[in-house]
Structure formats: C-alpha cells, structure tokens
Amino acid sequence: MKAANRIAKIPPYLFAEIDKKMAEAVARGVDIISLGIGDPDRPTPGHIIEALNREARVADNHRYPAYEGSARFREAVATYYRGRFGVELDPDREVMALIGSKEGLAHIIWAFVDPGDYALIPDPAYPVYKTHTLLAGGIPYLMPLRKENGFLPDFDAVPKDVIARAKIVFLNYPNNPTAAVADLDFFQKAVDFCREHRLLLCHDNAYAEMTYDGYVAPSVLEVPGAKEVAVEFYSLSKPFNMTGWRIGAAVGNAEAVEALGIIKTNTDSGQFTAIQHAGVEALENNPKAFFEEMNLVYARRRDIAVEGLSSVGLEVEKPRGTFYLWVPVPRLYSAAEFTALLLDQAGVVVAPGTGYGEYGEGYIRIALTVEEDRLKEAMDRIARQVKL
C-alpha cells in the first residue's frame, strides 16, 4: 500500500507531536505542566451548555443540518458583526457556518488554489495555511514575520513574478504564534494590495476577543470596500472556551463564501444544528461581559509569566492580544533544543517556534492555559534551566 505523493510533503502535525511527547513523559511519571497547545482550561459558560442540552432534545435538530448553516446561526453572526465591528453582512450570501474555523481555512485553499498557484503565507504561522496549500498542489510563498517589523508582513517585498501567479493571501491578527496585533491602517494596506493584484485576502480572526491594555482588535471587513476582496474566519473556540465544540463562521466576500460552500457541500454535511443554536446563545447572551472576565484572567497570567521570564533575562514583550507569549530562547540553544530541555529537565511543555515555520527559529511559544499557581511553578522550573 502506498499513500499519495502529496502526503510525503506534509511534516508531522505539530500538536500531534506535542501530545505524543507529553504522553511519553507522563508514562515515565513526570509531573507535566503543559503550556504547549492553545486550548482554554476554563469551562464553556453554563448557559451555552444549557442551550445545547435544550436544543439536543429537539427532534428536528437531529436531521441533516443546512449545508450553509442554520438561518438562526447565520443571522446571529451577522448581528454580532454589526454590533461588534460595525460591519453589515447578508446572512444568506455573506455568512457560512463552519465546523470550526480550521476546516474553513483549509477548504478555502481548495476552492481557490490550483496546482502551481502561489499562496502568500506568513511565517511563522498556524500550520494549516501552508500544509493545505501543499496538499492542493499550490506553492507556499513565505512572508517573514520579524520583530523589527512588528511581526507584520512586508507586501512590497513579494516578488512580482510570485504575485502574478498568486491566488490567495493569509493573515492572522491578533497573531498566532507571535501574539502581535494589527490596526486598521495595516488592514487597509492589505486590502489595497489584494485589490490591486486581484487576490483573495483570508483573515483568520480567531483571537479577536482576547485583547488587553485597551487594545480592541478590528475586523479586516471594517476597511471600506474590504468585502470586494476579503473573507474572514471567525471562531467561537478560544473566546468562549469552546474548542471541542467545533463551531465558527466564514464571512465577507459573497463569491468566496459561495466557492467555499461548493467544497463543503461535497465534503461534509455541516455542524450539528444543536451546536449551532448553542453558538447563537453564545453570540447573543452578553458575550462582552464574559470576554472581559476571561481577559482579566489571561492578563494576570500574562503578567506572571512575563515577570518570571524577564527575571532571568529572557526579553519577552508583553502582548496585547491572544493568550500566547512569543519568547526568544537563550542564545546557547535552538528552538527545538530548548523545547526538549524544558520537557526533559523541567517537565514543562512549550511549542518550538520552528513548528510554525522556518522564521520561528529562535523562539518558543507559551500558552497561558493553566491556573496561576501552576503557571508560577512552570516559570520557576524554566528559570532553573535558563543559561544566557
């Protein structure tokens, strides 16, 4: 039996490898503190769980869901975007329910990238952008995210011959893994670039609600005329502690949403309608208060971690978005070496920056997804291993 050649191009999925190494360490009796995977440790709010329980008892919800998502969910997303971002969306043409934003990000590539086409992908970045470009036969062109540029890509540095063969551009702010943020001026540049070169702009907006110190994350669709070229992927996973529920939405350019729908209708049958209705409950029942509560939790954790790391000379910037820290490794180590050291010697799991791309070398990503006492202990353990 021989797998397709395209499979050989795909490296092992980062988080699957992290899970494997964690399991091996636990089997050895190691007390593991996991700061590797961005999976919220707090529970889904009770009223959302109650909504699922109620809707799961409705017989009609047990039938195949609507491929594009239930009308209730699409209308709730449109209403939420109007209130949160001031963006008007047609729920029938410009909103589509997703089985988590990850599948939408993957499938939009299949809808637009032919073999030999370029996709402009930030590096470091969420691995799905690159891996599905490769699976679709496309060519990833990596746009480096460097500290000196605020971890924003330089569109002017993309070669003209690459642009001529490109179809799609990916962005993600607040950013995973660097925790960088962007403003509307940057999104205006991105929209102008994509309009000039007839490219589809895909913005992964999974962390829009996880912000601090007065920063409020915008939607790329707030840029006037953005819907001419842009589609945004909104997720309920991180802000509502709903990672396992797999519910999100693609919003924006109607042609892109329609093309994505063609892939989806031939691939999946949609998310369980009861989960979509629970998503409606999340979006409609005073989410701002819950976000404020959770962001206070993450801000305290951020400050604990930054203080602990800074005390031993690791120069980590205090982020204004996401629940990650992007931490330079000590000069004696590569990202992979320092990650292995922390697991083997400290029992602390982090993600190596190289798991997000070649320009992630020299960094690790820390997820603030444990309670404060365990986070303090993790910082103490890391401090004992640091040699600058």
Domain spans, the chain: 5-43+288-385, 62-285
- Asked whether the beta carbons of 171 and 201 are under 8 A apart, the reply is yes
Cα–Cα distance list, 8 to 11, 114, 119, 362 (Å): 8, 19, 19, 26
Question: Is 80 exceeded by the pLDDT of residue 12?
Answer: no
Q: Give the full edge-to-edge strand order of the sheet including 351-352.
A: 324-328, 363-367, 351-352
Q: Residue 105, Cα to own-chain centre: how many angstroms?
A: 10
Residue type, 165: R
Residue with tokens 């503190």: 33
Pairwise CA distance, residues 53 & 354, whole Å: 41
Residue type, 357: G
Does the pTM exceed 0.85? yes
Q: What is the pLDDT of residue 355?
A: 94
Pairwise CA distance, residues 305 & 286, whole Å: 30
Burial of 46 from C-beta contacts in 10 A (0-12 / 13-18 / 19+):
exposed
Cα–Cα distance list, 7 to 11, 109, 357, 379 (Å): 9, 16, 18, 38
CA angle 184, 252, 207 (to 5 degrees): 55
CA angle 333, 366, 327 (to 5 degrees): 45
Considering the segment(s) 62-285 as one domain, its CATH architecture is 3-Layer(aba) Sandwich (3.40)
Residues 6+ apart with CB under 8 A from 306: 316, 318, 325
Mean predicted confidence (pLDDT) in 15-43: 86
pLDDT per position as a tens digit, 311-363: 999 989 999 999 999 999 998 899 999 999 999 999 999 999 999 999 999 99
pLDDT grade for 388, boundaries at 50, 70 and 90: low
Burial of 222 from C-beta contacts in 10 A (0-12 / 13-18 / 19+):
middle
Q: What is the mean pLDDT of the chain?
A: 96
CA angle 18, 275, 290 (to 5 degrees): 75
- Asked whether the beta carbons of 170 and 132 are under 8 A apart, the reply is no
Give, in words, the CATH class of 5-43+288-385: alpha beta
pLDDT per position as a tens digit, 38-68: 999 999 999 999 999 999 999 999 999 999 9
Q: Which long-range contacts (CB under 8 A, 24 or more apart) does 352-356 make?
A: 353/124, 353/177, 353/326, 353/329, 355/14, 355/17, 355/127, 356/14, 356/123, 356/124, 356/125, 356/126, 356/127, 356/176, 356/177
pLDDT grade for 8, boundaries at 50, 70 and 90: confident
